[in-house]
Amino acid sequence: MDKLTLTEFQRMFQGAVNNLYNKKQLVNELNVFPVPDGDTGTNMYLTLKRAIDETNKRKPEDLRAFGKAICDGALIGGRGNSGVILSQILKGFFESLDGKDKVTIPEFAEALISATAVAYQAVIKPVEGTILTVINTVSKKALSLADKESDFFSFFRELLKTANETLKRTPELLPVLKEAGVVDAGGQGLVFIMEGMLLGLKGEIKMEKSFEESIEELDHQAIGGKLKFKYDTVILTEVPTIDPDKLRKQLEQFGDSIVVARSGNLTKLHVHSNEPYNVMKFVMQYGPLKEARIENMQEEQEEFLAHNKGKQPKPIVRRAVSIVSVSQGKGFDEIFLSLGVDVLISGGQTMNPSINDILAGIAKCEKKYVVVLPNNSNIILAANEAKKLVKDKVVEVIPTRNMVQAIPVILSFNADESFDVNISRAKKILSETHSFSVTYSVRDTKLNNIKIKKGDVLGLTDDKIVLKGKNPEKVLIHLFEKNKNLVKDYELISIYYGEKIKKEDAENVAKAVEKMFPELEVEVVYGGQPFYYYLVSLE
């Protein structure tokens, strides 16, 4: 192949976004620079996803319109530092191709040079050892190959090789990466984009991972809403020749929520319809069925509705304020709702809610006075930003750093007193509350002179890592032993165990703690939180 047209570009970008989707967690785990908040992969994926969505919406008929859609989408949807850099790269790239219908290898190389130039323009002092370094070396390599290569596949493979080599060198260029023992997250994201482009170009767009997740999402939507099609059908079949896009179109006659994924000789498809037998009959004209599964969603829906009806806990106290709280884990969701939190925002270590998510949460509140509990040190800033943007309500952020800190704060609100009195008391309570947590490390690193390996169990007092170990229960007990003097001045120890912990283990730990502090009350509560084995509050 010596020229690329609109069709190839569409395949390349689809490949890129799919590959990034599959690998985004790996990228997140590398994120230590400029701020170690573990969201680079997610941000790059969401930026590129928004760009692709824009092309799907506009259905461009030539390469120019396609490039325009990609650039507009990436600009509007740009998330985080890496997303902004990516949008500049795409902008420079497509500007150079403007007006062309077919792109040759020298033109593609020129476009990469332009992408690099535009990306570097937007920063005074480029930090090397980042995504910028990767695009820079790749574009230079492209230029040096431009006259020699005549086939896009081998051209691309060479570029990918250069990109990988540069990525490996990033720790040498940027000391903070070396210290943490990682390569640059943004650079890794770009490598995955290029890798996905090559896969897309070859027609090997891998969707295996996203298939299960996307059908789960579709089923969930269907069950939560009005049920138009009753039967959920998943079929695995051997049809080596049929084009997935064509199949998708043809399946539309039977129903909706169609997903088609290919892997080698196998095709997996998912459809919601009222006539599953006809779907099977239709698929069988192309090839034999390997597996088929049909579920009646009506039953699931009834169960779902019944389950949800009984489970809407009523607020126990009427308050003069509405409370918006970030939450993670089933147990905590229920605890917060039962304490009278008005709006829950789901949040996580890697998927921090955006300012917009928080604003949306505040908008849902009925009362004029709103308290926001970020429950994570990475979310406090976003919450404060959201607070500044709200005009029609009085918003206060109580800077809770984890979920257990939020509980005494929520309990302290009193409807009979003024908002200001409530807020200053809440802040005072927060400053007096201490918490322990037990979690695990997502990568090798060194913090507070403790050498940490990926998978190590970490013990934290408040937000500081103080010890490591291999067993969550032992680490927790060790934390209590180490902080005996601090703990004995409190009255109540609440231990919230996470989704990965067995109830018996949690109860055994509680018994050991009770022995250590016979004069204190110890309670064990299911929190269901991910990432943290245990969260403990001292009140």
Partner 1 sequence: MGKIIVSENALAKLAALTTMQCYGVVGLVPTSFKERFSSLLSKDKASRGVKVEIQGRHVSFTVYVVLQSGVKVSEVASTIIRQVSYALEKFTGLKDIDVNVVIKSVRREN
**Which spans of this chain sit near partner 1 (rule: CB under 8 A)?**
34-35, 37, 75-76, 78-81, 83-85, 87-88, 91, 118, 121-125, 127, 355, 381, 384-385
Identity of the residue, 15 or 83, whose beta carbon is nearer to partner 1 in the bound complex: 83
CA 17 to chain centre: 14
Question: Least distance to partner 1 from the beta carbon of 35, Å?
Answer: 4
Question: Least distance to partner 1 from the beta carbon of 91, Å?
Answer: 6
Question: Least distance to partner 1 from the beta carbon of 122, Å?
Answer: 4
Do the beta carbons of residue 74 and residue 47 sit within 8 Å? yes
Roughly what angle, to the nearest 10 degrees, separates helices 131-145 and 105-121?
A: 150
Identity of the residue, 351 or 355, whose beta carbon is nearer to partner 1 in the bound complex: 355
Question: Least distance to partner 1 from the beta carbon of 378, Å?
Answer: 9
Question: Least distance to partner 1 from the beta carbon of 403, Å?
Answer: 20
Question: Least distance to partner 1 from the beta carbon of 364, Å?
Answer: 22
Identity of the residue, 160 or 390, whose beta carbon is nearer to partner 1 in the bound complex: 390
Q: Which residues of 333-372 are buried (b: 16+ CB within 10 A; e: fewer)?
A: bbbbbebbbbbbbebbbbebbbbebbbebbeebeeebbbb
Burial of residue 538, with CB atoms counted within 10 A of its CB: 0-12 exposed, 13-18 middle, 19 or more buried:
buried
Rounded to the nearest 10°, the torsion over CA 470, 492, 410, 497 is 30
**What is the enclosing helix (H) or strand (E) of 494?**
strand 492-497
Identity of the residue, 75 or 457, whose beta carbon is nearer to partner 1 in the bound complex: 75
Question: Least distance to partner 1 from the beta carbon of 12, Å?
Answer: 23
Which parts of 78-178 are beta strand (E)? 103-104
Do the beta carbons of residue 368 and residue 395 sit within 8 Å? no
Identity of the residue, 354 or 414, whose beta carbon is nearer to partner 1 in the bound complex: 354
State the residue for tokens 């088929």. 292
Identity of the residue, 123 or 450, whose beta carbon is nearer to partner 1 in the bound complex: 123
Identity of the residue, 318 or 388, whose beta carbon is nearer to partner 1 in the bound complex: 388
Three-class SS of residue 197?
helix
Dihedral over Cα of 240, 246, 251, 255: its sign = positive
Identity of the residue, 127 or 236, whose beta carbon is nearer to partner 1 in the bound complex: 127
299 vs 305: CA distance, rounded Å:
10
Question: Least distance to partner 1 from the beta carbon of 129, Å?
Answer: 13
